[in-house]
Amino acid sequence: MSLPPAAPSRQLKHRRQIDVQVFARGNGLWEVDALLIDTKTRVANMAEGPRPAGTPIHDMLLRLVVNEKLDILEAGSETRWMPYTGVCNQHGDPQGDAYGRLVGLNLLQDFRKRLRERLGGIQGCTHITELAQVLPTAVVQAFAGEVIDTRGLSDGASRPFQIDRCHALRSDGEVVRLHHPRWYHAPETATSADLTQSRFERASEEPR
């Protein structure tokens, strides 16, 4: 399906920017900064008064510290701009910032499910929780070729994580055959029994 053409007269009304940066911290630790900013091209009438065009409606930062197994060792958030000043950023608990509850999770082990369990709905902020959902693939991309062997060529390597995760990298596809031949599996061909069964099923569906 081709991209729908952009209308010549369209007008930008709202922009959401999501920026994820991953930093090597040393000693096998990494910092992940995920930023979400919402702005409008017009004055926004907020509960506390008008907010000029271009001034953020949301400006939120989520930071994780992870190890090379993608375990979350530290986590916290900061809300700089919000619709309800002094309220939106009070998603705490007796231990402090609610997003500290991410500590102990692993980005590759049911992360999104456990995120929703710990911080879904009124337990956290809609936007920060939504932002956190992009982190597994972003961190894996940062680790690719540096922490994670994406080619699977070394002795004893396991199958590269990306195989069978998208249509281009299906294990019986051309990309895997050319670039990951060790992990390629030829497409299964229909047997004569399969073909006979298929012909029988088609014949039985024909009107009599």
- Quote the pTM value: 0.79
Q: 37, 56 in Cβ contact below 8 A?
A: yes
Please state, in angstroms and rounded to a whole number, the distance separating the CA atoms of residues 60 and 87. Answer: 14
Q: What is the pLDDT of residue 29?
A: 98
How many other C-beta atoms lie within 10 A of the C-beta of residue 106? 15
Q: What is the pLDDT of residue 30?
A: 98
Q: What is the pLDDT of residue 207?
A: 47
- What is the residue-level pLDDT of the chain in tens, covering all 208 positions? 699 999 999 999 999 999 999 999 999 999 999 999 999 999 999 999 999 999 999 999 999 999 999 999 999 999 999 999 989 988 876 556 899 999 999 999 999 999 999 999 999 999 999 999 999 999 999 998 888 776 666 665 667 767 777 888 788 888 878 777 766 888 887 555 555 555 555 555 544 4
Domains plus CATH for the chain? 14-143 (3.30.390), 149-208 (no CATH)
Q: What is the pLDDT of residue 47?
A: 92
Please state, in angstroms and rounded to a whole number, the distance separating the CA atoms of residues 196 and 208. Answer: 20
Q: 151, 180 in Cβ contact below 8 A?
A: yes
38-64 burial, b if ≥16 CB within 10 A, otherwise e?
A: bbbeeebeeeeeebeeeebbbbbbbbb
Q: What is the pLDDT of residue 174?
A: 84
